[in-house]
Amino acid sequence: MEILPGIHQLGQDMTPVHPGTLTAINVVAGSRLAIVDTGIPESAGSLVLPYLARLGRRPDEIAAIIVTHGHGDHFGSNQELKRLSGAPIMIHEADAPSLERLAHWRDTSYNPGPADVRLRDGQVIEVGDRRLEIVHLPGHTPGSIGVYLRDQGVLFSGDALQGLGTDVQHLALYTDPDAYVATVEKALRMGIEHLVPAHAYRPYTESHIHGPDVRRFLEVSLEFALGLDAVILDVLRQARQPLTPSATADRVCARYGTGSTTGMATTTVNAHLRRLAARGQVGAVGEGLEATYTA
């Protein structure tokens, strides 16, 4: 569907890996085309090209394939789309190594890369008459980026800004709490009019957010990240026994009314636990996901 003038979004069902979740492939259309994220494998021929044909556009009009970060539901069709269009694959330099190792989807393995262009913060990609500005937004991954169309006030944010997380995650997912908070604060300063994340992040149900709802979403994102330490500390105190990251995340998810934990929720909670331990705010025994924590 066309969500804004010259901006199209294709929602791709991630069943059976993440049932009930869509991942977005975005098309920026001007005199040339840019693709922001390529979804899961085999999306180019089955989804992207047929959609472009309905718009009366050709594959060779694609000038750039921009990947917001190095996760498989965002780069799965890189090579297929490059082969069909001849366009270069672009990703932030910090996440570029993710395209150079074997990736997996369902029961298959594939080679997603390598990148043709390693992006940096502030870089501008000229795509015909459109200017796409690269904004480094780390936290979810070290090389997460946003793609900013200043003339329309549109930011494609990938998974860099997460609100309260998706229904299948249960919590916002990031690996570096400090970087994530800085990223949300950076986005709040940008004056974004339209935010286009890669998934529908709660409390919203669509993967495009507009007007005053953008600031509300960012404020929810920041409130969650800043408040999670206090929730974790209270969970540990109430437990009165050492808890693993998974057991802690299970109780944190219950506090947020999302049911039991998920691996993605555990990743976020574990990142906060490690930071709390480094600050001396919790006790830790062991390492990794087998460690236990007390408060």
What domains lie within the chain, and their CATH numbers? Answer: 2-225 (3.60.15.10), 228-294 (1.10.10.10)
Q: What is the CA radius of gyration of the chain?
A: 19
- Judge whether residue 107 has pLDDT over 90: no
Q: What is the mean pLDDT of residues 151-174?
A: 96
Which has more confidence, 17 or 30?
Answer: 30
Instruction: Collect all residues with Cβ–Cβ distance below 8 Å to 248 and sequence separation of at least 6.
Output: 232, 235, 236, 269, 273, 293
Q: In which band, very low, low, confident or very high, does the pLDDT at 200 lie, cut at 50, 70 and 90?
A: very high
241 φ, ψ (degrees, to nearest 5): -155, 155
Among 97-111, 144-158, 168-182, 184-198, name the one with the lowest average pLDDT: 97-111
Q: Please report the pLDDT score of residue 19 as a whole number.
A: 72
Contact 210, 9 (CB under 8 A): no
The answer on pLDDT for 294 being more than 80 is yes
Q: Classify residue 189 as exposed, middle or buried by CB count within 10 Å of its CB (0-12, 13-18, 19+).
A: exposed
pLDDT tens per residue across span 111-141? 888 999 999 999 999 999 999 999 999 999 9
**What are the pLDDT digits (tens) for 18-66?**
777 789 999 999 999 999 999 988 888 889 999 999 999 999 999 999 9
What pLDDT, on the 0 to 100 scale, is given for residue 240?
87
What pLDDT shows up at residue 15? Answer: 66
pLDDT of 17 above 70: no
pLDDT score, position 14: 72
68 in Cβ contact with 160 (< 8 Å): yes
pLDDT tens by residue, 167-195: 899 999 999 999 999 999 999 999 899 99
Confidence of residue 108 (pLDDT cuts 50, 70, 90): confident
pLDDT digits (tens, 9 = 90+) for 248-290: 999 999 999 998 899 999 999 999 999 999 999 999 999 999 9
Given a cut of 90, whether residue 103 has pLDDT beyond it is no
The residues, ordered by sequence, that sit 6+ positions from 109 with a Cβ below 8 Å of its Cβ are 102, 103
Q: What is the mean pLDDT of residues 94-121?
A: 90
Which pLDDT score is estimated for 104? Answer: 84
